[in-house]
Amino acid sequence: MAPRLIELEPDMVDFSQDALKLTTLGLTAWVINSYILNRPSPIQDTVQAALITVAGLALHHLVTDKMIVRFVVKSGKEGYYQAMRRYN
């Protein structure tokens, strides 16, 4: 089964992937706490933590990454980086 592809502008791809990861982690934490560990926590607590994290990711993506600091691949190593991301 192939994943569904959603086309986005290049500058929104990393942020969207981070937000999706956050959602997956938050739901997983809620399910584990509620059903496996029998420590029920209201879904509102999980949603609130997720919103705070999304706000932090947005701040990083829109301010820190654009205006303060950004990590880039060394010149000449771009092909290696792309291959590593694709096949690892």
Q: Give the pLDDT band of residue 88 (cuts 50, 70, 90).
A: low
The answer to the question of residue 1 being in a domain is no
Domain of residue 51, residue span = 12-87
Distance between CA atoms of residues 58 and 54, nearest Å = 6
The answer to the question of residue 3 being in a domain is no
The answer to the question of residue 6 being in a domain is no
Which DSSP string corresponds to 28-64? HHHHIIIIIS-----HHHHHHHHHHHHHHHHHIIIII
The answer to the question of residue 60 being in a domain is yes
The answer to the question of residue 62 being in a domain is yes
The answer to the question of residue 73 being in a domain is yes
Per the prediction, the chain carries an average pLDDT of: 79
Q: How many domains does the chain have?
A: 1
Q: Give the pLDDT band of residue 85 (cuts 50, 70, 90).
A: confident
The b-or-e profile of 68-80 (16+ CB within 10 A means b, else e) is: eeeeeeeeeeeee
Region 49-67: what's the mean pLDDT? 81
The answer to the question of residue 39 being in a domain is yes
pLDDT in tens, 8-40: 887 787 788 888 887 887 788 788 778 888 877
Q: Give the pLDDT band of residue 1 (cuts 50, 70, 90).
A: low
Residues 6 or more apart whose CB falls under 8 angstroms from that of 87 comprise none
The answer to the question of residue 55 being in a domain is yes
